[in-house]
Amino acid sequence: MLPFEDASISWESPLDLDIWSRAATWFEEAREGGGADITTRPAAFHSGPIVGGPAYSPMIYIACHSDPDAKLFRWNLQVTPRPEEEPPEEVLRRSDSVGGIRGIAIFVNDVIGKLPVVAAEYELTVIAKSNGGPLSDFLPRPVSGEEWPGAKIGKSAVLEEIGYRYKDGVMGITEISAYYLNDDEGYMINISANAVLRIGENFQLPVADDIITFVKGQFFNPTRK
């Protein structure tokens, strides 16, 4: 399974006509010389049937905007879990035409391989159940009195969300928000971070994995009080 519900990763690279020409061969709406957005349809990893639900099998969206004035490409990757049902034939065909997620991974690594280090903005959404720990001790909690804005709007007010903004956060983390869902679903955690972009050949995201593991350890480790 993917370690997240959704990942959005953005970064910039210098304008490069070779990259643009390669993109033009399989990106929709690409134009030689820049000046237009380019994008693909989702590319699903579909090496075989799914047994017992989806394994590590993401759906990928990639988009790029050329900024000739700044002489930059502005890239964005959207990574989500692949649905359990088999993708439509048209999606499979388009995925095959770009080499599936491996083809996109090779292309992206070629883009970032031309740069010494690629700093990216990560936006990660995680759904996590809790077996205890600081977050489940804090959320949800009844609130009342003047110290809680809004507590007197209705009866039995319950605090179900918290948010943090960081300066010099560990692993480049800049913001975290946590939402209590319910006893069955647990919590939704949104994480923003500035970190190095790394992509595996099957579109593993090791930096995102490390950030998520660290945050879950801070929020859900029963020994951390």
Question: How far is residue 17's CA from residue 31's CA, in Å, rounded to a whole number?
Answer: 11
Name 98's Cβ contacts closer than 8 Å, sequence gap at least 6: 26, 40, 43, 104, 107
Q: Give the pLDDT score at 212.
A: 95
Q: Give the pLDDT score at 41.
A: 58
Q: Which two tokens stand for residue 173?
A: 């983390």
Q: Are 76 and 172 within 8 A, CB to CB? A: no
Question: How far is residue 5's CA from residue 92's CA, in Å, rounded to a whole number?
Answer: 22
Residues of the chain falling short of pLDDT 70: 1-2, 24-56, 183, 222-225
Amino acid identity of residue 222, one-letter, is P
Q: How deeply is 39 buried, as exposed, middle or buried, from its count of CB atoms within 10 A (0-12, 13-18, 19+)?
A: middle
Q: Give the pLDDT score at 54.
A: 47
Q: Is the bond preceding 140 in cis, omega lying within 30 degrees of 0?
A: yes
Query: 89-97 vs 100-113: helix axis angle to the nearest 10?
Result: 40
Q: How many helices (H) and strands (E) does the chain have?
A: 5, 11
Question: How far is residue 54's CA from residue 26's CA, in Å, rounded to a whole number?
Answer: 27
Q: Give the pLDDT score at 148.
A: 79
Q: Give the pLDDT score at 24.
A: 67
Question: How far is residue 190's CA from residue 192's CA, in Å, rounded to a whole number?
Answer: 7
pTM (predicted TM-score): 0.85
Q: Which two tokens stand for residue 75?
A: 């890239």
3-state secondary structure of 74: strand
Q: Give the pLDDT score at 38.
A: 65
CA angle 116, 117, 118 (to 5 degrees): 130
